Amino acid sequence: MDGLLSINPGLMVWTVVSFVVFFSLLTKFAWGPIMKALEKREQNIRESIESAERAKKEGEKVLAEHQAALQGAREETRKMIADAKAIGEEERAKIVEKAQAEGAALLKRAKAELRGEEAAAIQRVREEAVDLALGAASRLLERSLNEGDHRNMVEDFIKQVSAGKKP
């Protein structure tokens, strides 16, 4: 067992030489390509992150534009609704005003017709009253009456008027 723990200078030299050769071979053929691959991968990751950040910023910008457009559309819709309500109110007021004017005109015409019919009815009553008075006066003038004759004459006159005959 002593042989394993003892220092052998020849083995040591060959170990150092083989380490240096192996290290130089690794550096030339493995370390360089591995480092290049790692740098390339790091660059790809960095570009992907930058691209993602640009896409995120672009997405935020588009989102802000869409939100602004949506807000503008909402405002425009509110304005259109308000305008439509105002127009509707104006139209309603015009219709009510027109209906009131037509109602007032109709009422005025009806009152005028009533006054005309009332005047015509009064005229007919006056004419009837005149006819009745003339009929009664002509009968009175035809003869001189006592109280019984007077009573009979009035009753006959009333019967004629009730029957629709003119005296």
Domain spans, the chain? 2-162
CA atoms of 155 and 149, how far apart (whole Å): 10
Token pair in block for residue 132: 């009745």
CA atoms of 58 and 89, how far apart (whole Å): 46
Token pair in block for residue 157: 């006159």
CA atoms of 117 and 122, how far apart (whole Å): 8
CA atoms of 23 and 17, how far apart (whole Å): 10
pTM for this entry: 0.41
Name the helix (H) or strand (E) containing 58.
Answer: helix 32-142
What are the pLDDT digits (tens) for 2-48?
666 778 888 889 999 999 999 998 888 888 888 899 999 999 999 99
